[in-house]
Structure formats: C-alpha cells, structure tokens
Structure 1
Amino acid sequence: MIPLEEKKIIVGLDIGTTKVSTLIGEILIDNTINIIGIGTCQSRGIYNGIINDLESVIKCVKQSIHAAEVMSQTNVNSIFLSISTKDINCQNEIGIIPINKRAITKLDIDNIIHTAKSVPISNEHHILHVIPQEYAIDQQIGIKNPIGLSGIRMTANVHLITCHSTIKKNIIKSIKNCGIQINQIVFSGLASSIAVLTQEEKELGVCLIDIGGGTLDITIYIDGILRHSQVIPYAGNSITNDIAYAFSTSYTNAEKIKIKYGNINSYTSSDIEYIEVMNKSGIYNQKFKIHTLTEIIEPRCSELLYLVNNEIVQIQNSLKKSGKNYQLLAGIVLTGGSAKIKSLTVCAEKIFNKKVRIGLPNIINGIIDQIHEPDYSTVLGLLYYGRKKYHKNKQRNIIEKQNFCKKWLKKINSWVKKII
C-alpha cells in the first residue's frame, strides 16, 4: 500500500446511527478531488450521535476504514471526522476592536475573531467552529472582506458551533483506539452544506435539512452567510421504529423495508400491491398491503417536517426583528439517507410552502456511482472541507518560510553593514 504522505490524500469518516462511511480522496493537480476509496459498515454502538458501546464502534470504524484502504491501496493514518448530536449548540456573537484609521490587516482579523469567540458558552461545551459572518467598519455594514479598508472601529459577527466536551472526548477516544489521528472534528450539517449547496443558493437564502438515521441537522444560509445551525435528535430511525412495531419485525428488517418500499404518497402508482415481511425469527410469514406502509411513514414524516418548519419560522422572525434579511428564496434542500423516501419533496413543499429539492453531493472524479446519493453528503463534504484546510495550511507554511527567509536576509544585511 502507498503511504498517504506520498499523495495529497484526504480521508473523511462519518459515524452515523445507520452506517459508518469512509471516503478516501486524492487532490489532483487541477485541485479537483478524485475518489479512490470507499468503505461502509452497518453502524453499531452509537445512537443519536452518542456512543453507548465503544468496542462495537471501534470494530465498525476499523472495518469501514479497512475496506476503503483496500480499494484505494493506501494506508489511512488521519481523518476528518463528522459529528452530529443533540449536544451541539450554536450562537451568534460579536467582536469589536479599535483600528485607529489605519488599514486593516490579517492580524486584525485574527484578533477580532479571537475577541468574538472569547465569550461565555454553555457549561462543559467546546468550540468546534468559529465562522465569520460579516464585518462592519464604523457605519459601513455587510462587509465580507475588510482587509485593506480603514476606519476607527471594526465589528465582526461570527457564528459559533459548540459541542459537549464529553461527547467529543468519547468520539476522539473511539478513533484513537483504532490507531487513527483526527485532523479535525466537523459538524455534520456544515459538511453536508459544503457538499450539497451552491453559492447562489446560499446568497438567495436556503435551508438545508440533513435527515440522518439518528439526528436531523439544520443549516440556514442567507446572503451567503451561515445564520443558524441546529441538531434535532429525531430523524429516520423514528420512522424505522414505527415500521418495526407495526409489522412486528426487527429494526434491521424495518430499515430495509423503508429503503426499498418507503413512500409517503399513497396515490403514487406502483407495480407492487403487497410486501412480504420477515418476522423477528427471520421467517417470511406476513403479507401487508403497500398502502399500509404509506400510512405508517406519512404521518411521521409530516410530523418531522412540521417540527423543522416551526424552527425555521422562529429563526426568520428573529432575523426580521433584528432588521436582517430572512427570506429563503432558494427554498429547502433535503439530504441524508431518509431524504430518499419517495414523494418526500411533495409532502415537504406543502408544509414549507416553498420549492424543495433533494440535495445530491457534488462529485468531480473517481468512483462516483455508489456515492452520488443523499446519504453520502456528509462524508463527501468532509473531503471538501479537508481540501480547503490542506490549501490553507500549505499557504501558511509558504508564508512562514518567506518570513523566515526575510528574517535571515535582514540579519545578513545587518551583519554585512557592520563589517563594511
């Protein structure tokens, strides 16, 4: 196998309630990502983003990573890891610094971001992301990049995403026990939005709803700015549990039925009138009308979407009161495994009264057939996030080398002048 150091390799790992997914991507010379390895494993030992069986999680992670390593012929030693749990919070904060009429520099940006994030956060929470939203210089507001501008005082609005430190520690422990280092832990909703949303949608105003197995992630962008992020611990597994209960079958069988036959529109034409259902002993001894499955899925999906709609309305009202744009002109984007339920967009459009589309991850090169699905949005987004981080670190190293050379040239010039 080829060591990762010899290639520009990035690895994403998504530990979900339903499955564990690993993607290995190579950054090509044209900056595109070539998918060279995929590994998946049925998830065990984690529920709603919380580990309840460390050993099982470690086994799943190892199995998923190994499958991706074999396919890509590389050894994985570090990954970008997604996280989604009800213990993730978000808050918008403000930082202020004086600039005394001089031109703003990168150091000023770093200082004001540091000021903005130095605020009290929920007990035992740790900051995952500090995302700049916009800047203001004196009376000029809505500035995206203030470097080079001048004024008396600069203000920065930032979006903080935090996670309970215990949850984070347990996730880190599970990965390190696999002999893998973590480059960064990334909020799943943020990763999915990178993979699925276009810049135009973010500018117009859009809400991404990532419906996973155990959690649902909401990210709202308006004017190109991340205005709100949230996790709801209520998602696809609630639908699966309803199916398992109604059909007296196992959770695993219910999940398969949901994926294969799931539909929330009873008027959709289908060649199948009845479905055979396996009992908990593994014997096919039950037959149900396909319409019965629809009657189970539709109310739960509607309940879930109404819950999200209430959250969106609250955020919009808050933005409206503060005088900010609150319109979602690009509508709603659904992604995640449960977004594959048939006719979900029809139901969502009625509830949100907006246009709705299913968000598929944007893929450039490589093994794309298997992962061009909503349930791979998060893990592919981790690769895009990793690519950005890679170039940022590369640029920082170049600047550090340049500064080092300048420092030594200055010393040499000073030494030569003393001799002369």
Structure 2
Amino acid sequence: MDEPIVVGIDIGTTKVCTLVARVEGEQNLRILGVGIEPSQGIRKGAVVDLGAASTAIARSIEKAQRTSGLEITSALVSLAGSHVASVNSRGVVGISGGIIDQEDIARALESAQAIAIPHNRQIIHVIQRGFVVDGQDGIRNPLGMHGYRLEVEAHIITAAESTVENIRQCVEAAGVQVSHFVLNPLASGEVVLTETERQMGVVVCDIGGGTTDLAIYIDGDVWHTMVLALGGNHITSDIAHGLRLPLPQAEEVKKQYGHAIESEVSEDEILTLRTFGQEHPVQVSRRELAHIIEARVEEIFLFVLEEIKRSGYDGLLPAGMVLTGGTSLLPGIRTLASSVLGLPVRVAKPENLVGLTDQLQSPAYSTSVGLLHWALLLSEAAPTPRKHTPFRGGGINTETLKNFLRRLLP
C-alpha cells in the first residue's frame, strides 16, 4: 500500500459523489470506491439545510468506504455557487540573489494576493497566468532564471466564507477533513480538456443541476472563472409548470423525451402523461416539450455568451467550448450552444478510467473525476502539505513543480 490514495467529494445540487482512487505508476488512477447519493439540503451550490446535507454527504462517504474497504479521513471537495467571484491581480518582488528560486515565486504570488477582499470572503485559488522578469513577459516558469525584478499575473478566486464553512461543517460531521476546496469548472477542466485546447483558448462549461460553471483557459492557464445560478433544475421546473407535472415526473420526462431543439422533433410524436387535475392520462406533443426546453437552454447560453463577452476574451477562443455536466446529455444541446455562441462546441466526459468506472463514464461525473486529478497533482507537488497554509514547494521535484505551477492552490 505504498501507492498514495486520493479522495474527492463532489457536492452538487442533484447528487453527492465520493470517489476513492489509488495512484498507480505515472499519473494513473484506479477507482477503488464509489459512493453516489441523491443530494439533499443543497441549492445552487449552497447549503440550505445543514442536517439534510450532512446526512447525504455522510451516506455518500459511507458507500465509498464500503466499496473501497478503506477509511476516508480527508478529501478534496468541490465548490460552486453564485457566491464565487474572481479577479486578476499582479504581484511584484525584487530578487535578492540574482537567480529566481521557489521562495521568490511564492513571495510574488503572496504579493498578488495583497488585494482588498471583504472580510466575509476567503481566497480559494491563486492561479498564476504568467511571469515577467525584468520587463520580459510571456515567461511560463521563471525558476532558475537570472533577474532582479519578478512580476506575476495571478487569477484569484474567492468565495463567501459562510458558504464555504457550511460545506466544511457538513463534510466534517461525517468525520472527514477537507484538505482543499476546488472550483467545479477547474476540476472538470482537468479531465475534459486536451493540452492543445488549453493553449489555443477554450471555455469549459459545466452545466449541473443548480449552476452553470465557466472557466476560460488561454495559453495553458486559467484566465477567467464564473458561476451562474442557472442549471438543469430550471429546465425541469419549466417542464413541471408548462405541462402541470410533479417535479420528479418532469425530471423523468426531461431525461427520457427531452430535446433542446424544437424543429428537430417530429410533430407526430405524442407522450401520454398524468398531469395535475386530470383523472385520466392526457396526450402531449413531444414538440411542445422541446419548445419549453429550447427556451430555457437558449437563455442559459445567452447568459454564458454575455459572461464570455464581459471577460473580454471572446475573441481568443478558437478551440470554442467544451460542454460537460449532467445537463450536457440533453439531445440537441451541443447544436444549440454552437448556434447561440457562434463557437465550435463538443460534449466531453471522463475517459481512460480504470477500476469501478461503470457509472462514471458520463459528463455528469467530470467534476468528481477531476477532483481526483487535482488530488494527484497536490500529492505529487506537496507530499506532506501543511493544513490551511499556502503551497510553498519546499523540497519538490523540479519537473513536478513545472507541471504544477499553473494549477497553484493556496
């Protein structure tokens, strides 16, 4: 059992998924334990019922422990919700020895964090976007270079402290310590993006039940992140209101018969449904269902387009969008997204998985699997991380450090 064990807990609006994996060889993960439980007490990424959320998380963890035969003591936990915000910042330090070492890079990143943050918010990620040494920009890794002045451009992601602490409390109630929080689209990006897409310019769009999570990657780094409080549950709610159905039945109808483009559905297709106030089942056109879905999906992508334009990077995304999350399984959604955004779009899911992977090969589990990849990066770069302290990088393999710098966590 020398090989390290990594654990990720994806706490979503619709499900809680706990994964346990063993690291084998060079960056290979074998899934040992899976615990999937319907989510309770979570709405739009935030805890609304502490007891219900704690119970759902505890059940998910218990299932993963049972299937893996291992006790879970700490884990990486996903984070989403409209309370998440991001800002780009710049830090500058002088180089005393003339050669840049890891301590100088850490000081530059700390300098970038010296921004005015409201007392009720906390920093979740500090991700470097690039370095400038003595006025020369475009430097990816300055370690070992000669210079006297080091600047870093950093992308800083913050979240509401109360929301983060509520999630931490729910996880710790199950006897598990939170080693780090990871923003949903950054976790998803680890498993759905190719290196070429990261370099060219791409936006990851993870549409879950309660939120739509965005991350823009350019030149291999994260340049912008955003969480919208819209998701698949809004589509379900529209179906429930439009066709007068209970929410559980509306969700089933969406999964079985839903389509994101009305014009692609035949007028002859009829569904038989039992609606409110009707003694006998009534017949509903599938095209009417698609009409309801298309309106909401189009609205979601119009908000996404607005956010991409607001970031200022809309002209820097030749690789287009990679769509993932449970709602991306909706037929026709890729075509509609491409039409609204004017970008190439592909739907992606976790691939090359080993072990207990039957349920996980779906876009709905991109964040869950991505958390394990983050845990892998952290375990490689900091074998003995200090709890709640920024990553310093003491005694780290240089090659590992180069790979890890772009995904720096506080």
Q: 1:399 to 1:54 in 2, by over 3 A?
A: closer
Deviation at 1:100, TM superposition (A): 5.3
Amino acid across the alignment from 1:300: R
Match of 1:220 in 2: 216
Match of 1:9 in 2: 5
- The answer to whether 1:304 aligns with 2:335 is no
> Structure 1, unaligned stretches of length 5 or more?
321-325, 403-420
Contact 2:381 2:396 in 1 (8 A): no
My pick for the range that moved more, 287-296 or 364-373, is: 364-373
Q: Using the alignment, how far apart are the partners of 1:73 and 1:155 within structure 2?
A: 47
Match of 1:25 in 2: 21
Match of 2:243 in 1: 247
Q: Using the alignment, how far apart are the partners of 2:395 and 2:68 within structure 1?
A: 33
Q: Using the alignment, how far apart are the partners of 2:44 and 2:262 within structure 1?
A: 30
Give per-residue Cα distances to partners, 1:49-101, cap 9 Å, x unaligned: 11111111111112212222222222222211001011111000000011257
Deviation at 1:183, TM superposition (A): 1.3
Tell me the TM-score normalized by structure 2.
0.90
- The answer to whether 1:238 aligns with 2:234 is yes
Match of 1:202 in 2: 198
Deviation at 1:395, TM superposition (A): 7.9
Q: 1:401 to 1:33 in 2, by over 3 A?
A: closer
Amino acid across the alignment from 1:350: S
Q: Using the alignment, how far apart are the partners of 1:193 and 1:270 within structure 2?
A: 36
Q: Using the alignment, how far apart are the partners of 1:373 and 1:203 within structure 2?
A: 25
Q: Using the alignment, how far apart are the partners of 1:263 and 1:237 within structure 2?
A: 15
Q: 1:375 to 1:97 in 2, by over 3 A?
A: same
Contact 1:48 1:85 in 2 (8 A): yes
Q: Using the alignment, how far apart are the partners of 1:352 and 1:175 within structure 2?
A: 38
Q: Using the alignment, how far apart are the partners of 2:78 and 2:278 within structure 1?
A: 34
Q: 1:72 to 1:100 in 2, by over 3 A?
A: closer
Q: Using the alignment, how far apart are the partners of 2:320 and 2:354 within structure 1?
A: 28
Deviation at 1:22, TM superposition (A): 1.4
Match of 1:382 in 2: 371
Give per-residue Cα distances to partners, 1:242-263, cap 9 Å, x unaligned: 0111122222221122122210
Structure 2 counterpart SS, 1:299: helix
Report sequence identity in percent: 32
Match of 1:70 in 2: 66
2:138 to 126, 139, 142: 142
Match of 2:350 in 1: 361
My pick for the range that moved more, 391-400 or 367-376, is: 391-400
Deviation at 1:279, TM superposition (A): 4.0
- How many correspondences in the alignment? 391
| CA root-mean-square deviation | 2.4
Contact 2:86 2:226 in 1 (8 A): yes
- The answer to whether 1:350 aligns with 2:346 is no
Match of 1:393 in 2: 382
Q: 1:39 to 1:94 in 2, by over 3 A?
A: same
Contact 2:209 2:233 in 1 (8 A): yes
Match of 1:158 in 2: 154
Structure 1 counterpart SS, 2:292: helix
Deviation at 1:122, TM superposition (A): 3.4
Tell me the TM-score normalized by structure 1.
0.88
Structure 2 counterpart SS, 1:104: coil
Give per-residue Cα distances to partners, 1:21-62, cap 9 Å, x unaligned: 111111113330011221211111110011111111111112
Structure 2 counterpart SS, 1:14: strand
- Match runs of 1:307-346 below 5 Å: 307-316=303-312, 326-346=315-335
Give per-residue Cα distances to partners, 1:157-202, cap 9 Å, x unaligned: 0010111110011011111111111111111111111121111101
2:80 to 73, 81, 84: 84
